[in-house]
Amino acid sequence: MTRKFLILAMAALIAGLAIVGQGQAPISEASHGSWFEISILSSSPDIVSGGDALVRVDIPRFVPLWLMRVELNDDNVTGAFAPDPEDHALVGLVDGFVLGENTLEVKPKWWPRRWPPLAQLTVTNHPITGPIFSGPHQQPFVCKTERRDAGLGQPLIDNYEHIGFPVYAVDENGEVIGWSKDCSAETRIDYLYRTTGGKFEPLPPGERPDDLAQTTTLDGRTVDYIVRWERGTINRFIYSLATLAPLGDDPERPDPSAWNGRLIYSFDGGVGIGHSQGDAEKDPNKLPHDVLSLGYAVAYSTGNRTGVHYNLQVGGETALMVKERFIERYGVPYYTVGVGGTGGGIQQYVYGQNHPGLLDAAIPQYEYPDMVTQTIHVGDCELLEHYFDVTDGANAKWLDVENRQLIQGLNASWDPQNLSPGALEQWNGIYFLYGLLGFPVAERAPSSPAPALTECRNGWFGLSPLALNPHYGSAGAGQELMQPPGVMAEVHWTHFDDLRNIYGIDEDGYARVTWDNVGVQYGLQALLDGDITPEEFLHLNANVGGWKQTKDTVQEGYPFVGDFVPFNFDPWSSRNMNLSPDGGITPAPRSEGSIEAMNAAYESGMVFDGQMDIPIIDWRHYLEDELDMHNTHQSFATRQRMIEGQGHADNQVIWFTDARPSVAFDQTPEAFQVIDEWMANIKANPDKSVAENKPPDAVDRCFNTDGSEFARGDDVWDGILNDELAGACTQKFQIYSTSRIVASGPLKGGIYKCQLQSVEDAIEAETYGSWEPTEAEQQRLEEIFPTGVCDYSLPDAGRPAD
């Protein structure tokens, strides 16, 4: 009784002091001004998932840690905590959160129930299958857990209603015993070791292999090169966590002693439309030797590969959940850095904007600012190619590849460098078919494609149907097993349907579409420069047309679907275009996008708006001479958005490495080194800005093919976003544009729908330079643009007013 009395007396004293310390703050708030505080280390309290969370309880130093009690929904969970004497706190992995709201409370032992807790926190727990904030699950959803490297076996049964992927008995009958809609799988933990011969092999249980290699980590320790590799499913996608581990590590209680404290989140690219869990065997970034050997931990998910889907709301949600899982197992990283190219670069910008704290630094590669606004100029590609090849195919001007470039803005070449034999064969084959069908084809040497290539052809060919056509698409192997029968035939295979939870549905049951070209004056800059005549400008804009509404589209033709026969030859997807019915006398209708969908893209954060103040090294090989789709101006489009969105881009540096005549050097390891120095400076000088903490090498730089630097400094990219003389890097690497920039749009891109001005006002504003349209020409312009022409000096009409 005496001990209990003393504890109660001490508790009463603590209560009085705590109330004084909290001032007027409500007892339910765990604010930083309180003496007692509960925090969730693994996630935000409102987005906990999977029923557990790493919890920290901060306690005043005058209060013994052993005196405190932690409760979850009135149950004592103090046993989950271990003391952190240095910070005088309790830290523990708490299990048992129920779905929905939960209450964590801190109070002394033997605390009377009628007394309020010293700190309280409301925690909202969500299923490990999701969703948290991305809306209803996409269905149908094809499971891939059994496929090769995934190694997770059949998915877990979650229904017996014949919905989803079949699960079979493992006996000799092999009959279907259930179905899986969410493709969950049991978590698997394997141990691999690096051999002295340079390979990963399974670690034999209970013994030390004779050929076990050792490695020296970033922090200078030499350890056995053993990797703990955890795989499972989170948010329905296959995730992977890889870290160095000591020999004899307990799978259930991982030992982080070999980890260097830094987490890499690896993001992947590609273009996908969803309805699939993603094939894990296509993901080489799960076990990257170059960083694992330095002691970095690596997190990965098929939900963060844009080749699986391009819904970056789902992708951001997935990354948050995977990082939560990592922290629950290993603790809070010293920092988390993202890395990945193309769509992997896009993800870093979009998630860095939308989810502060997910990434502490980023190394985006071959990036665009986002995906959703890339569809704007990409959607022009086939419209213009069809115009050049077919509508105005008799005009020899378009046999000159440089003239096509004047309208498309993207790079073009008679002899693209490094064109693979397969690509060469493909393009010469298609152009041979052009010739058979009577389309004009320039004479070229056998080793070069004719009539040469633009980036629209070599880079973006086939992506218009993938983004726009609901009939063209697939979830790959396994979709034929999906139940009920015919369910996969009901999928609308478009980028817009992949984001239907964001864009919404139109009156015909299809996802709303953002793509719009009303008022766009294609080739306007070429007209101003005197490279095309007013007659050519009018003819182009009268005939270029637009894309049909989703409900009116039909299946693609050859070379996408079906065999080559004249009536099925359609490499432009022209059967899904709005074209003039009479050769341009009646102007071809343009496409009008949904303002609601555009607003939703902004409001959901799918548009990168430039607000991301963490260290960024934006690196790419210079690939323009290959007519590669990852055009270099996108790095500067991103920079311009940052300047406009947050007032500066001082936290972003842009590195280019020459890839002519071939890709020879990877600057990524150096980028990791610079990021590590940068983050160390930030940790040591938290009162300074990100830019003020830059190390010497965190500056705009350019490199030769062997990785040697040839220029650095704040002025090396002059002449792109300013009017200064071209800097050293600008002179070395020509920067191209897009069809919308040629139409007088901004370099930053991202204008879904231009605001319109009347043709008369445009003429009065001298929009057409030295060309002064006659009365007949003005009338023709008004026929082509009955609602007006774009005024790019005004903001995007698709951007929400607030």
Distance between alpha carbon 702 and the CA centroid of its chain, in Å?
A: 25
C-beta of residue 222 within 8 angstroms of C-beta of residue 216: yes
- The least confident of 276-285, 306-315, 429-438 is 276-285
Q: Which ranges constitute the DSSP H helices of 138-295?
A: 289-292
Structure tokens at 460: 């973006």
CA dihedral sign of residues 156, 161, 167, 168: positive
Give the architecture (CATH level 2) of 2-126.
Sandwich (2.60)
Q: pLDDT by residue (tens digit) across 578-597?
A: 999 998 899 999 999 999 99
DSSP class of residue 110 equals: T
C-beta of residue 516 within 8 angstroms of C-beta of residue 522: no
What's the average model confidence in pLDDT over 230-257? 96
User: Torsion over CA of 405, 411, 414 and 420, rounded to 10 degrees?
Assistant: -140
**Looking at the predicted structure, is the pLDDT value of residue 113 above 90?**
no
pLDDT at 490: 95
Question: In Å, how far are 378, 379, 468, 551, 560 from 554, measured between CA atoms?
Answer: 20, 17, 11, 9, 13
State the Cα–Cα distance between residues 334 and 117, nearest whole angstrom.
Answer: 32
Distance between alpha carbon 324 and the CA centroid of its chain, in Å?
A: 19
Task: Give me the count of residues in the chain.
Answer: 802
C-beta of residue 683 within 8 angstroms of C-beta of residue 643: no
pLDDT band at 126 (very low <50, low <70, confident <90, very high): very high
- The least confident of 25-39, 233-247, 736-750 is 25-39
Tell me how many degrees the CA angle 412-413-417 measures, rounded to the nearest 5. 120
pLDDT band at 445 (very low <50, low <70, confident <90, very high): low
pLDDT band at 4 (very low <50, low <70, confident <90, very high): low
pLDDT at 28: 32
Q: pLDDT by residue (tens digit) across 627-686?
A: 999 999 999 999 999 999 999 999 999 999 999 888 779 999 999 999 999 999 999 999
State the Cα–Cα distance between residues 164 and 178, nearest whole angstrom.
Answer: 9
pLDDT at 502: 98
pLDDT at 114: 83
**Looking at the predicted structure, is the pLDDT value of residue 799 above 60?**
yes
Residues linked to residue 34 through DSSP beta bridges, in sequence order:
none
**Looking at the predicted structure, is the pLDDT value of residue 69 above 70?**
yes
DSSP class of residue 327 equals: H
State the Cα–Cα distance between residues 691 and 648, nearest whole angstrom.
Answer: 10
Which residue, 654, 45, 790, 692, is CA-closest to 365?
Answer: 654
User: Torsion over CA of 391, 394, 397 and 400, rounded to 10 degrees?
Assistant: 90
State the Cα–Cα distance between residues 558 and 556, nearest whole angstrom.
Answer: 7
Q: pLDDT by residue (tens digit) across 296-321?
A: 999 999 999 999 999 999 999 999 99
Structure tokens at 214: 């050792």
C-beta of residue 258 within 8 angstroms of C-beta of residue 287: no
Render 661-674 in DSSP notation, one character per residue.
SS-----HHHHHHH
State the Cα–Cα distance between residues 560 and 470, nearest whole angstrom.
Answer: 14
Residue with tokens 């005939």: 543
**Looking at the predicted structure, is the pLDDT value of residue 776 above 90?**
yes
State the Cα–Cα distance between residues 319 and 265, nearest whole angstrom.
Answer: 8
C-beta of residue 159 within 8 angstroms of C-beta of residue 178: yes
pLDDT at 283: 59
C-beta of residue 660 within 8 angstroms of C-beta of residue 622: yes
Which residue, 652, 649, 634, 736, is CA-closest to 371?
Answer: 634
**Percent residues over pLDDT 70 in the chain:** 94
Residues linked to residue 757 through DSSP beta bridges, in sequence order:
789
User: Torsion over CA of 736, 738, 743 and 747, rounded to 10 degrees?
Assistant: -70
The residue type at 562 = G
pLDDT band at 698 (very low <50, low <70, confident <90, very high): very high
Residue with tokens 């002295």: 196
C-beta of residue 747 within 8 angstroms of C-beta of residue 633: yes
Which residue, 740, 730, 712, is CA-closest to 515?
Answer: 740
Question: In Å, how far are 522, 684, 762 from 759, measured between CA atoms?
Answer: 15, 58, 5
pLDDT at 584: 87
pLDDT band at 451 (very low <50, low <70, confident <90, very high): low
**Looking at the predicted structure, is the pLDDT value of residue 40 above 70?**
yes
State the Cα–Cα distance between residues 154 and 174, nearest whole angstrom.
Answer: 12
State residue 125 phi and psi, 5-degree precision.
Answer: -105, 140
- The least confident of 7-16, 511-520, 531-540, 690-699 is 7-16
- What is the DSSP pairing of strand 89-95 with strand 756-757? unpaired
pTM over 0.85: yes
pLDDT band at 351 (very low <50, low <70, confident <90, very high): very high
pLDDT at 623: 93
What's the average model confidence in pLDDT over 687-700? 98
Residue with tokens 């604010």: 31
User: Torsion over CA of 565, 566, 568 and 570, rounded to 10 degrees?
Assistant: 130
Chain-wide mean pLDDT for the chain?
Answer: 92
Domain coordinates in residue numbering, the chain: 2-126, 374-578, 614-741, 743-790
The residue type at 621 = H
pLDDT at 25: 31
What's the average model confidence in pLDDT over 455-473? 91
pLDDT band at 7 (very low <50, low <70, confident <90, very high): low
What's the average model confidence in pLDDT over 263-288? 87
Residues whose CB is less than 8 angstroms from the CB of residue 362 and which lie 6 or more positions away in sequence, other chains included: 337, 338, 339, 348, 349, 352, 612, 614, 615, 616, 617
Which residue, 343, 356, 265, 352, is CA-closest to 310?
Answer: 343
Structure tokens at 415: 């002899």
State the Cα–Cα distance between residues 324 and 662, nearest whole angstrom.
Answer: 40
Residue 243 region, left (φ>0) first, then alpha (ψ -120 to 50), else beta?
Answer: beta
Omega prior to 661 cis, within 30 of 0:
yes
Q: pLDDT by residue (tens digit) across 182-228?
A: 999 999 999 999 999 999 999 999 889 999 999 999 999 999 999 99
pLDDT band at 21 (very low <50, low <70, confident <90, very high): very low
pLDDT band at 20 (very low <50, low <70, confident <90, very high): very low
pLDDT band at 30 (very low <50, low <70, confident <90, very high): very low
Residues whose CB is less than 8 angstroms from the CB of residue 612 and which lie 6 or more positions away in sequence, other chains included: 349, 352, 353, 362, 642, 646, 651
State the Cα–Cα distance between residues 257 and 245, nearest whole angstrom.
Answer: 7
State the Cα–Cα distance between residues 651 and 284, nearest whole angstrom.
Answer: 29
Residue with tokens 């000799």: 172
CB atoms within 10 A of CB 414: 16
pLDDT at 229: 96
**Looking at the predicted structure, is the pLDDT value of residue 32 above 50?**
no
Distance between alpha carbon 436 and the CA centroid of its chain, in Å?
A: 42
Residue 607 region, left (φ>0) first, then alpha (ψ -120 to 50), else beta?
Answer: beta
DSSP class of residue 552 equals: G
**Looking at the predicted structure, is the pLDDT value of residue 239 above 60?**
yes
Q: How many CA atoms lie within 13 A of 522 on its CB side?
A: 28
The residue type at 312 = L
Residues whose CB is less than 8 angstroms from the CB of residue 751 and which lie 6 or more positions away in sequence, other chains included: 376, 740, 745, 792, 796, 798
What Rg value do the Cα atoms of the chain yield, rounded? 30
